[in-house]
């Protein structure tokens, strides 16, 4: 049976490709979704891909992964630095989560150096642009 992975994206990621391309790159979220879909097919993974600007909707998507997904790749965007609700949803969902950030958050403003998500994630990938999603897919595919 194929593994099922959910890729969840938080606020402002719908603006990729036009939002500060010198920081976030020129790929759109659709291009990232397409690349992830292609890579997931090669790995034999069933993939769901979502984006929302709403913290509550992101909580709902994380909760929906409980019992239906073998893992979640989460780019919480700025919510990683502010949302205890998302952190608690990850703990409650009891599904392995890989936190992904396009940029190296530790090379940016100091308020980005703390994540509420990292302590409840199985891993964190940051600073590799869109390739971070592919790395996260590989990591979750390799988990037993």
pLDDT in tens, 92-140: 999 999 999 999 988 787 878 889 999 999 999 999 999 999 999 999 9
What's the pLDDT at 19? 85
Under 8 Å CB-to-CB from 38, ≥6 apart: which residues?
A: none
6 is catalytic: no
What's the pLDDT at 85? 98
Q: What is the mean pLDDT of residues 44-73?
A: 98
Catalytic site residue from 6, 79, 101, 133: 101
21: confidence class by pLDDT, cuts 50, 70, 90: confident
Go through the chain and tell me how many residues it has: 144
Break the chain into its structural domains and give their ranges: 4-142
Euclidean distance between CA atoms 2 and 121, whole angstroms: 22
79 is catalytic: no
Closest by CA position to 39, among listed 138, 126, 130, 122: 138
CATH 1.10.3720.10 fits 4-142, yes or no: no
What's the pLDDT at 109? 79
What's the pLDDT at 75? 98
Catalytic site residue from 24, 79, 116, 133: 24
């Amino acid at each position: 049976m194929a593994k099922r992975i959910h890729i969840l994206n938080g606020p402002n990621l719908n603006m990729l490709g036009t939002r500060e391309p010198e920081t976030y790159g020129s790929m759109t979220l659709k291009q990232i979704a397409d690349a992830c879909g292609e890579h997931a097919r090669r790995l034999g993974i069933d993939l769901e891909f979502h984006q929302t600007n709403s913290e509550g909707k992101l909580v709902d998507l994380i909760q929906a992964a409980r019992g239906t997904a073998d893992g979640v790749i989460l780019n919480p965007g700025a919510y990683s630095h502010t949302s205890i609700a998302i952190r608690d949803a990850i703990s409650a969902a009891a599904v392995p989560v890989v936190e992904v950030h396009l940029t190296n958050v530790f090379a940016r403003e100091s308020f980005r150096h703390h994540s509420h998500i990292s302590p409840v994630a199985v891993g964190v990938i940051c600073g590799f642009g869109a390739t971070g999603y592919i790395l996260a897919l590989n990591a979750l595919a390799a988990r037993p």
